[in-house]
């Protein structure tokens, strides 16, 4: 089955609210083998809504509509669908009773226009709404299915889960399952070169790369019959990609880098402390968002000034005078200093120029030094990050997290 999601509401077109319903519905439909090929948005206008619905009916088997089921005159979804399918709107007494009961529980009078919400196209399958006053419905007409759901996500989502997921599971012979390989340290174009033959030869499962800030994700998607194992289809492809890319694949479970690093630290009981300059505590914030990290995360020092680097981390004044605050030498002393002060297994430091000012020809904006101190010594990495201040700080944190991850994987913890 091929589906289209048609969102109804002028407020969506004006940018007053985001169309999060389409994202949610697309993700859920893939799990029951329904392909979503189109997203459409139309305002509260009967003529334009009719045009969009007719186009959708020509190219899709399933149309899921959200919005336009309210009590006001501009809520036109059911009326327009009824006209297209030539079905009368009929009062559904059970829905009316539930709407009346909804207002009674709130101790509020029900206005006359709310009765409109209890009318449905003839022979529609009613979808109850336990969270609001707008029930939804399903129309089956020959080989087409049209679903109408309310717009508020708090109402739409439980209705979708309780009624539509079982409905489509029953109708669909297939399911679509995806796994996400998260990759750091290999750019999108370089990654494509390494796996181009796999992409060109793909059938089922499919491979789709897409870039995020500083990293790349590969989506591996298998379509299989309900009782087949998608993992058996995907694992050979995933294994081949990991063979070619190696440790640059940091997750096959769609976990972000701080989750992976946090879990490594906790599971192996490796203690850590941080000394951050240009990132200003951003790395600490990412790590402390991981549940249970207090077991291993000792402390962090935001060492922005030269004085702080000297007084709190033990960086030698002559090191800063000779090499500067942004240097390999300063980064190494920062990492060693925080590790000695906290007596942790790992001490990691960051010092750099986030911009937009402060750079020079010798040390441009985006120049960052990362150092990691551990029982076998201290290592430093120089990186150059392009972009604005926020990007420099965010991507620097990714490099720092990956530095910790790779150190743990090759270490003897």
Residue-level pLDDT at 32 = 87
Residue 389 and residue 369: Cα distance in Å, rounded? 16
Q: Within this chain, do residues 62 and 120 fall inside the same structural domain, yes or no? A: yes
Return the H-helix or E-strand segment holding 206: strand 206-212
Q: Within this chain, do residues 265 and 213 fall inside the same structural domain, yes or no? A: no
145: left (phi over 0), alpha (psi -120 to 50) or beta: beta
- Asked whether the beta carbons of 278 and 393 are under 8 A apart, the reply is yes
> Tokens 């720092």, residue?
400
Nearest to 271 by CA among 358, 346, 330, 327: 346
Q: Report the C-alpha dihedral over residues 242, 243, 245, 248, rounded to 10 degrees.
A: 50
Q: Within this chain, do residues 32 and 101 fall inside the same structural domain, yes or no? A: yes
Residue-level pLDDT at 269 = 97
Residue 53 and residue 407: Cα distance in Å, rounded? 56
**Where is the domain boundary, 171, 194, 225?**
171
Residue 329 and residue 380: Cα distance in Å, rounded? 9
Write out the chain's pLDDT in tens, 413 residues.
Answer: 899 999 999 999 999 999 999 999 999 998 888 999 999 999 999 999 999 999 999 999 999 999 999 898 888 999 999 999 999 999 999 999 999 998 888 888 898 889 999 999 999 999 999 998 999 999 999 999 999 999 999 999 999 999 999 999 898 888 888 899 999 999 888 998 999 999 999 899 999 998 888 999 999 999 888 778 889 999 999 999 999 999 999 999 989 999 999 999 999 999 999 999 999 999 999 999 999 999 999 999 999 999 999 999 999 999 999 999 999 999 999 999 999 999 999 999 999 999 999 999 999 999 999 999 999 999 999 999 999 999 999 999 999 999 999 999 998 67
- Using CA of residue 183, residue 185, residue 189, residue 193, what is the dihedral sign? negative
Q: Is the pTM of this model over 0.85?
A: no
Quote the domain boundaries for residue 20: 2-171
- Asked whether the beta carbons of 148 and 137 are under 8 A apart, the reply is yes
Residue 9 and residue 42: Cα distance in Å, rounded? 6
Q: Within this chain, do residues 96 and 193 fall inside the same structural domain, yes or no? A: no
- Asked whether the beta carbons of 392 and 354 are under 8 A apart, the reply is yes
Q: Within this chain, do residues 32 and 164 fall inside the same structural domain, yes or no? A: yes
358: left (phi over 0), alpha (psi -120 to 50) or beta: left
What residue ranges in 94-173 does DSSP mark as E strands? 119-121, 125-127, 136-141, 144-149
Q: Within this chain, do residues 167 and 181 fall inside the same structural domain, yes or no? A: no
Return the percent helix, strand and coil in the chain, to nearest 5: 45, 25, 30
Q: Is beta strand 35-42 parallel, antiparallel or unpaired with respect to 2-8? A: parallel
Nearest to 325 by CA among 369, 355, 290, 383: 369
Q: Within this chain, do residues 363 and 234 fall inside the same structural domain, yes or no? A: no
For residue 121, the domain's CATH number is 3.40.980.10
- Write out the two tokens for 115: 């009765």
Q: Within this chain, do residues 268 and 242 fall inside the same structural domain, yes or no? A: no
Residue 221 and residue 208: Cα distance in Å, rounded? 8
Residue 285 and residue 282: Cα distance in Å, rounded? 5
Domain count, the chain: 3
Q: Within this chain, do residues 69 and 199 fall inside the same structural domain, yes or no? A: no
Q: Within this chain, do residues 7 and 154 fall inside the same structural domain, yes or no? A: yes
Residue-level pLDDT at 229 = 87
**Where is the domain boundary, 221, 251, 281?**
251
């Amino acid at each position: 089955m091929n589906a289209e999601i048609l969102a109804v509401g002028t407020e969506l077109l004006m940018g007053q609210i985001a169309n999060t319903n389409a994202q949610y519905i697309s993700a859920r439909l893939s799990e029951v083998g329904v392909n979503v090929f189109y997203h459409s948005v139309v305002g509260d206008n009967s003529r334009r809504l009719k045009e969009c619905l007719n186009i959708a009916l020509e190219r899709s088997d399933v149309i899921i509509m959200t919005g336009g089921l309210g009590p006001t005159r501009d809520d036109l979804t059911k009326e327009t669908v009824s006209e297209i399918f030539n079905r009368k709107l009929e009062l559904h007494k059970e829905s009316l009773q539930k709407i009346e009961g909804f207002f009674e529980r709130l101790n509020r009078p029900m206005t006359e226009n709310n009765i409109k919400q209890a009318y449905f196209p003839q022979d529609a399958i009613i979808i109850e709404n336990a969270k609001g006053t707008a029930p939804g419905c399903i129309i089956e007409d020959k080989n087409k299915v049209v679903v109408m759901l309310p717009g508020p996500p708090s109402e739409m989502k439980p209705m979708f889960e309780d009624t539509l997921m079982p409905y489509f599971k029953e109708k669909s012979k297939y399911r679509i399952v995806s796994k996400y390989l998260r990759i750091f340290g290999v750019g999108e174009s370089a990654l494509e070169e390494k796996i181009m033959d796999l992409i060109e030869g793909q059938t089922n499962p499919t491979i789709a790369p897409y870039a995020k800030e500083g990293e790349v994700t590969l989506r591996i998607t298998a379509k299989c019959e309900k009782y087949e194992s998608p993992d058996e289809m995907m694992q050979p492809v995933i294994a081949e990609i990991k063979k070619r890319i190696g440790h640059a694949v940091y997750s096959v479970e769609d976990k972000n880098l701080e989750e992976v690093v946090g879990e490594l630290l906790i599971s192996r009981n490796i203690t850590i402390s941080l000394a951050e300059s240009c990132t200003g505590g951003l790395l600490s914030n990412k790590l402390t968002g991981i549940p249970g990290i207090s077991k291993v995360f000792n402390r962090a020092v935001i060492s922005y000034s030269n004085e702080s680097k000297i007084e709190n981390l033990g960086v030698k004044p002559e090191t800063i005078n000779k090499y500067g605050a942004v240097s390999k030498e300063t980064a190494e002393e920062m990492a060693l200093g925080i590790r000695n002060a906290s007596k942790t297994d790992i001490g990691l430091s960051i010092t750099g120029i986030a911009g937009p000012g402060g750079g020079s020809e010798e040390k441009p904006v985006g120049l960052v030094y990362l150092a990691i101190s551990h029982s076998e010594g201290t290592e430093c990495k120089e990186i150059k990050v392009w972009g604005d201040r926020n990007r420099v700080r965010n991507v620097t944190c990714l490099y720092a997290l990956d530095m910790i991850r790779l150190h743990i994987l090759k270490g003897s913890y």
